Amino acid sequence: MTRLIVWRHGNTDWNAGNRVQGQTDVSLNDLGRQQAVDAAELLVKLKPGAIVSSDLRRSADTAAALAALTGLSISYDKRLRERYFGAWQGYTMTEVAQLFPDQHARWQAGQEVGGDVESLDELGRRVSDALLDAAALAPPGGTVVVATHGAAARQGVGHLLGWPIEQLRTLRALQNCHWIELTLDDKRGWQVAAYNVGPFSERPVPPPV
Protein backbone atom coordinates (compact mmCIF):
# COMPACT_ATOMS: atom_id res chain seq x y z
CA MET A 1 0.00 0.00 0.00
CA THR A 2 1.50 3.32 -1.10
CA ARG A 3 1.81 5.91 1.67
CA LEU A 4 2.02 9.65 0.95
CA ILE A 5 3.11 12.07 3.67
CA VAL A 6 2.12 15.69 2.94
CA TRP A 7 4.34 17.75 5.25
CA ARG A 8 4.04 21.45 6.08
CA HIS A 9 7.30 23.39 6.43
CA GLY A 10 8.74 24.66 9.70
CA ASN A 11 8.12 28.04 11.31
CA THR A 12 9.28 31.32 9.79
CA ASP A 13 9.41 34.84 11.17
CA TRP A 14 6.48 35.67 8.89
CA ASN A 15 4.47 32.81 10.40
CA ALA A 16 5.30 34.12 13.84
CA GLY A 17 4.23 37.64 12.84
CA ASN A 18 0.98 36.48 11.19
CA ARG A 19 2.27 37.88 7.90
CA VAL A 20 1.02 36.55 4.56
CA GLN A 21 3.82 34.66 2.81
CA GLY A 22 2.16 33.12 -0.21
CA GLN A 23 4.90 32.56 -2.76
CA THR A 24 7.34 35.00 -1.15
CA ASP A 25 10.55 33.05 -0.53
CA VAL A 26 10.91 33.33 3.26
CA SER A 27 13.50 31.27 5.16
CA LEU A 28 12.96 29.15 8.25
CA ASN A 29 13.78 30.76 11.59
CA ASP A 30 15.62 28.99 14.41
CA LEU A 31 12.41 27.45 15.70
CA GLY A 32 11.51 26.23 12.22
CA ARG A 33 14.89 24.61 11.71
CA GLN A 34 14.57 22.78 15.02
CA GLN A 35 11.02 21.70 14.14
CA ALA A 36 12.33 20.27 10.87
CA VAL A 37 14.96 18.24 12.69
CA ASP A 38 12.44 16.98 15.27
CA ALA A 39 9.93 16.03 12.57
CA ALA A 40 12.60 14.35 10.44
CA GLU A 41 13.52 12.11 13.36
CA LEU A 42 9.93 10.85 13.35
CA LEU A 43 9.51 10.61 9.59
CA VAL A 44 12.73 8.67 9.04
CA LYS A 45 11.10 5.79 10.94
CA LEU A 46 8.59 5.50 8.08
CA LYS A 47 11.48 4.57 5.77
CA PRO A 48 10.63 6.94 2.93
CA GLY A 49 11.71 5.91 -0.54
CA ALA A 50 11.53 9.40 -2.03
CA ILE A 51 11.37 13.04 -0.93
CA VAL A 52 9.73 15.76 -3.03
CA SER A 53 9.57 19.44 -2.08
CA SER A 54 8.31 22.84 -3.09
CA ASP A 55 11.24 24.88 -4.37
CA LEU A 56 10.60 27.69 -1.87
CA ARG A 57 13.32 27.77 0.80
CA ARG A 58 11.13 27.16 3.82
CA SER A 59 9.94 23.86 2.38
CA ALA A 60 13.22 22.91 0.73
CA ASP A 61 15.14 23.41 3.97
CA THR A 62 12.52 21.44 5.89
CA ALA A 63 12.91 18.57 3.41
CA ALA A 64 16.69 18.81 3.74
CA ALA A 65 16.48 17.80 7.39
CA LEU A 66 14.90 14.50 6.36
CA ALA A 67 17.25 14.04 3.41
CA ALA A 68 20.19 14.34 5.82
CA LEU A 69 18.89 11.36 7.82
CA THR A 70 17.87 9.17 4.90
CA GLY A 71 20.61 9.90 2.37
CA LEU A 72 17.90 10.50 -0.25
CA SER A 73 18.11 13.30 -2.77
CA ILE A 74 15.25 15.80 -2.98
CA SER A 75 13.16 16.33 -6.10
CA TYR A 76 11.75 19.86 -6.43
CA ASP A 77 8.36 20.71 -7.92
CA LYS A 78 7.14 24.31 -8.33
CA ARG A 79 3.55 23.07 -8.33
CA LEU A 80 3.95 22.43 -4.59
CA ARG A 81 4.40 26.13 -3.87
CA GLU A 82 2.02 27.91 -1.52
CA ARG A 83 -1.11 29.61 -2.80
CA TYR A 84 -0.32 32.87 -4.59
CA PHE A 85 -1.87 35.63 -2.50
CA GLY A 86 -1.08 38.49 -4.86
CA ALA A 87 -1.21 41.94 -3.29
CA TRP A 88 -1.73 40.44 0.16
CA GLN A 89 1.80 39.05 0.30
CA GLY A 90 3.98 40.82 2.85
CA TYR A 91 1.11 42.28 4.86
CA THR A 92 -0.10 41.05 8.22
CA MET A 93 -3.64 39.68 8.26
CA THR A 94 -4.70 42.74 10.28
CA GLU A 95 -3.38 44.95 7.47
CA VAL A 96 -5.07 42.77 4.84
CA ALA A 97 -8.41 43.23 6.61
CA GLN A 98 -7.89 47.01 6.54
CA LEU A 99 -6.58 47.30 2.99
CA PHE A 100 -8.74 44.66 1.27
CA PRO A 101 -11.87 44.39 3.44
CA ASP A 102 -14.12 42.78 0.82
CA GLN A 103 -11.53 40.20 -0.20
CA HIS A 104 -10.71 39.47 3.42
CA ALA A 105 -14.38 38.91 4.24
CA ARG A 106 -14.68 36.42 1.38
CA TRP A 107 -11.51 34.64 2.57
CA GLN A 108 -12.90 34.33 6.09
CA ALA A 109 -16.14 32.91 4.69
CA GLY A 110 -14.23 30.27 2.73
CA GLN A 111 -15.18 31.81 -0.61
CA GLU A 112 -13.01 32.62 -3.60
CA VAL A 113 -11.14 35.84 -2.82
CA GLY A 114 -10.93 37.25 -6.34
CA GLY A 115 -8.50 39.89 -7.54
CA ASP A 116 -5.00 38.54 -8.13
CA VAL A 117 -5.28 35.86 -5.41
CA GLU A 118 -5.02 32.34 -6.83
CA SER A 119 -8.35 30.54 -6.81
CA LEU A 120 -8.88 27.53 -4.57
CA ASP A 121 -9.73 25.42 -7.60
CA GLU A 122 -6.46 26.32 -9.35
CA LEU A 123 -4.51 25.71 -6.15
CA GLY A 124 -6.13 22.36 -5.49
CA ARG A 125 -5.64 21.15 -9.05
CA ARG A 126 -1.94 22.03 -9.34
CA VAL A 127 -1.00 20.66 -5.92
CA SER A 128 -3.06 17.51 -6.40
CA ASP A 129 -1.34 16.87 -9.72
CA ALA A 130 2.04 17.29 -8.03
CA LEU A 131 1.05 14.91 -5.21
CA LEU A 132 0.02 12.23 -7.68
CA ASP A 133 3.30 12.56 -9.56
CA ALA A 134 5.20 12.37 -6.27
CA ALA A 135 3.29 9.26 -5.20
CA ALA A 136 4.32 7.58 -8.45
CA LEU A 137 7.94 7.75 -7.25
CA ALA A 138 7.23 5.33 -4.42
CA PRO A 139 8.52 1.79 -4.72
CA PRO A 140 5.77 -0.86 -4.46
CA GLY A 141 4.18 -0.45 -1.04
CA GLY A 142 6.58 2.39 -0.27
CA THR A 143 6.40 5.86 1.27
CA VAL A 144 6.93 9.27 -0.29
CA VAL A 145 7.32 12.44 1.77
CA VAL A 146 6.24 15.72 0.18
CA ALA A 147 7.29 19.01 1.80
CA THR A 148 4.90 21.83 0.97
CA HIS A 149 2.86 24.61 2.59
CA GLY A 150 -0.24 24.95 4.74
CA ALA A 151 -2.92 26.11 2.32
CA ALA A 152 -1.34 24.12 -0.50
CA ALA A 153 -1.37 20.92 1.56
CA ARG A 154 -4.98 21.19 2.66
CA GLN A 155 -6.37 22.24 -0.72
CA GLY A 156 -4.24 19.77 -2.66
CA VAL A 157 -5.26 16.85 -0.47
CA GLY A 158 -8.88 17.94 -0.61
CA HIS A 159 -8.83 18.03 -4.40
CA LEU A 160 -7.13 14.62 -4.51
CA LEU A 161 -9.88 13.17 -2.30
CA GLY A 162 -12.69 14.94 -4.14
CA TRP A 163 -13.82 16.85 -1.06
CA PRO A 164 -15.94 20.01 -1.44
CA ILE A 165 -14.71 23.26 0.07
CA GLU A 166 -17.32 23.02 2.85
CA GLN A 167 -15.83 19.74 4.02
CA LEU A 168 -12.29 21.06 3.87
CA ARG A 169 -13.25 23.94 6.14
CA THR A 170 -13.92 21.44 8.93
CA LEU A 171 -10.19 20.69 9.08
CA ARG A 172 -8.08 22.97 11.23
CA ALA A 173 -4.90 24.41 9.76
CA LEU A 174 -1.81 22.22 9.77
CA GLN A 175 0.70 23.21 12.41
CA ASN A 176 4.22 23.98 11.26
CA CYS A 177 6.15 20.79 10.50
CA HIS A 178 3.05 18.62 10.90
CA TRP A 179 1.71 16.38 8.18
CA ILE A 180 -1.19 14.52 6.62
CA GLU A 181 -0.79 10.80 5.97
CA LEU A 182 -2.60 9.37 2.94
CA THR A 183 -2.69 5.74 1.86
CA LEU A 184 -3.70 4.27 -1.48
CA ASP A 185 -6.08 1.31 -1.28
CA ASP A 186 -6.53 -0.80 -4.40
CA LYS A 187 -10.31 -0.76 -4.03
CA ARG A 188 -11.11 2.47 -2.18
CA GLY A 189 -8.47 4.75 -3.63
CA TRP A 190 -6.83 7.46 -1.53
CA GLN A 191 -7.76 7.59 2.15
CA VAL A 192 -6.76 9.80 5.09
CA ALA A 193 -4.84 7.74 7.63
CA ALA A 194 -3.79 10.62 9.91
CA TYR A 195 -4.03 14.41 10.07
CA ASN A 196 -1.94 17.10 11.82
CA VAL A 197 0.69 14.64 13.05
CA GLY A 198 4.09 15.91 14.11
CA PRO A 199 6.49 16.89 16.88
CA PHE A 200 5.01 18.47 19.98
CA SER A 201 4.82 22.26 19.91
CA GLU A 202 3.52 24.70 22.49
CA ARG A 203 3.39 27.53 19.98
CA PRO A 204 0.00 28.72 18.69
CA VAL A 205 -0.98 27.54 15.21
CA PRO A 206 -0.11 30.19 12.59
CA PRO A 207 -2.44 30.62 9.62
CA PRO A 208 -1.64 28.57 6.49
CA VAL A 209 -0.51 31.50 4.36
* 8 Å CB contact between 89 and 23: yes
Question: CA-CA distances (angstroms) from residue 176 to 12, 91, 115, 139, 162?
Answer: 9, 20, 28, 28, 25
In the residue annotation, 82 being an active-site residue is answered as: yes
First to last CA, the chain: 32
- E strands present in the chain: 2-8, 50-53, 74-76, 143-148, 179-185, 189-197
Q: How far apart are CA 172 and CA 151, in angstroms?
A: 11
List Cβ neighbours of 67 (8 Å cut-off, separation of 6 or more): 51, 73, 74
Question: CA-CA distances (angstroms) from residue 202 to 36, 143, 199, 206?
Answer: 15, 29, 10, 12
Catalytic residue chosen out of the listed positions 9, 149, 159, 178: 9
Catalytic residue chosen out of the listed positions 82, 104, 118, 178: 82
In the residue annotation, 112 being an active-site residue is answered as: no
Determine whether 139 is exposed, middle or buried from the number of CB atoms within 10 Å of its CB (0-12, 13-18, 19+): exposed
- What is the set of active-site residues? 9, 82
